Amino acid sequence: MALSDTAIRALKSVERNLKVADGQGLFLLVTPSGGRWWRLKYRFDGKEKLLSLGTYPDVGLKAAREQRDEARRLLASGIDPAENRKIQKSARALRAANSFEVIAREWFAKYSPNWAETHSTKIIRRLENDLFPWLGARSIGEISAPEVLACLRRVEDRGALETAHRALQNCGQIFRYAIATGRAERDPAADLRGALPPARPGHFAALTEPGDVGALLRAMEAVSAGFVVKCALRLAPLLFVRPGELRTAEWSQFDLEKAEWRYFVTKTKTEHLVPLASQALAILREIEPLTGEGRFVFPGARTNGKPMSSGAINVALRRAGYATRDQQTGHGFRAMARTLLHQELGVAPEVIEHQLAHRVPDALGSAYNRTKFLKERRSMMQIWADYLDRLRDEVAETE
């Protein structure tokens, strides 16, 4: 006789286990402790088996019968319901282990030690507020470009377009990490180029807090980049020239014996002299055996006939985990040097401005002189390089 909810509720306590049948192998196991367990008895490959279907009243009579019917459909197809449950449980565990949130947090844990604390905080908040609530539980290999775009639209709709662009950048980094570690096959974020309106450009982003600069330098040392680009990246903060002047630097402009680099400033069309600190000389001597026979210190990857691309430095910075829109750009090393040389090292502003190749009128009316303050500038460049080394080597307590 089939069970009913009324009959189940009327069952009294028992002294030993009691099986109350419902039909087609389904029964309710009543225990002396008061437990009421749904069980399904079936045969597979000639062997009798039991399948647990939950407890009453959490699993009601109707739900228990639906589970029984599903199990019988599997049996009719030659599938063991118990084994199928194990497979489904394993698949769910695999999807959970490969979820967007799990992999994103793994990516964050791997790379954040090389980031400034403020940068790390912004990224994890962005992930937790704008991405995890909608993508976090999804298997990363199943996420589509429209799903990512829907998250970005929510951010854009609240007027945070810059944040939407940064969230897209973070998604791309996470998907590429998943590809590299065998958890995904493609990056859907790459399909969203141009899907967001361009962010309004502002000043060149630059870090100017000593602790943040130290973390940036450590990230730059650890970033994965080609040798030529990596050398240019390491020189950028040491020389703080304009990015276009660095990437188009020619060997004929350098005198490594005198520790000097002379070239014409593209903006002012004036000759400029950059004293080279010992650290800068060491980097140039590292790359000289590779590119010294050619024209450019930093030739392009495809041919020695042209310098490296204009975006190479910024690409390397983004690989190091820094947003070039609002954290650090190649051009931003100039603002970094101008701020820290004066505020932290006490260098006179006019000395700094001359090294930046800015026009600085003086009492005599001269706008710029490439040799003015040359002695002070030589000293400054070495002091600056030593200071950057100290910042790089000092690991802040908060990191």
- Residues with a catalytic annotation lie at 242, 267, 331, 334, 358, 368
Q: Are 397 and 117 in contact (CB under 8 A)?
A: no
Q: Are 135 and 151 in contact (CB under 8 A)?
A: yes
Task: Name the phi and psi angles at 267, rounded to 5.
Answer: -80, -40
Instruction: State the DSSP code for 333.
Output: H
CA angle, corner 155, sides to 153 and 160, nearest 5?
120
CB atoms within 10 A of CB 125: 11
CA 357 to chain centre: 35
Which pair of tokens denotes residue 287?
Answer: 């790359």
How far CA 175 is from CA of 121, 168, 319, in Å, comes to 20, 11, 13
H/E segment holding residue 173: helix 161-180
Residues 6+ apart with CB under 8 A from 216: 116, 207, 320, 322, 328
From CA 382, how far away is CA 393, in angstroms rounded? Answer: 17
How far CA 245 is from CA of 238, 261, 297, in Å, comes to 14, 11, 11
